[in-house]
Amino acid sequence: MRAKQYFCVPSISQPSFFPILSLLPQRALIYIKATQPQSQFIATFLSIFDTMWTHGLDVSKPDVLAQVLSKHNSEQQVHEILEKANSAEWKQKLNDNTAEAVKKGAFGCPFFIVKNKEGVEEPFFGSDR
């Protein structure tokens, strides 16, 4: 409760269906990050977060994810993103990203690797509860 007040996000709550199988949204996001401007990636990430944690909708469902993606993409782009997110290439990319995170010491969520201006990386883990 204190963290919600501190970060000014009082409407966030855990949906009744949590946890979700987040593979589809994760693969969609890595595809967007690789193919679209950073601003598009950030806007989409925030929309996915808001849809699940503020509005209580399951973004792992393709139809819900498509609705979220349509806020920032044309119908054709949404179709392409979902198609690519289900392709072997982007499934492998998520596997590779996950393996790299584990190699760097990731063990839970949230887990961040922060790189300073000298290029030195440092891991941070924090409870999401």
pLDDT of residue 11: 81
Mean pLDDT of 94-103: 93
Q: Structural domains in the chain?
A: 2-125 (3.40.30.10)
The per-residue pLDDT for 128 is 47
In tens, the pLDDT along 101-119 reads 899 888 877 888 889 999 9
Provide the whole-model pTM.
0.85
In the Cβ-directed half-sphere of 85, how many Cα atoms lie within 13 Å?
23
d(CA 128, CA 112): 12
For residue range 5-33, what is the model confidence (pLDDT) as tens digits?
787 777 888 899 999 999 999 999 999 99
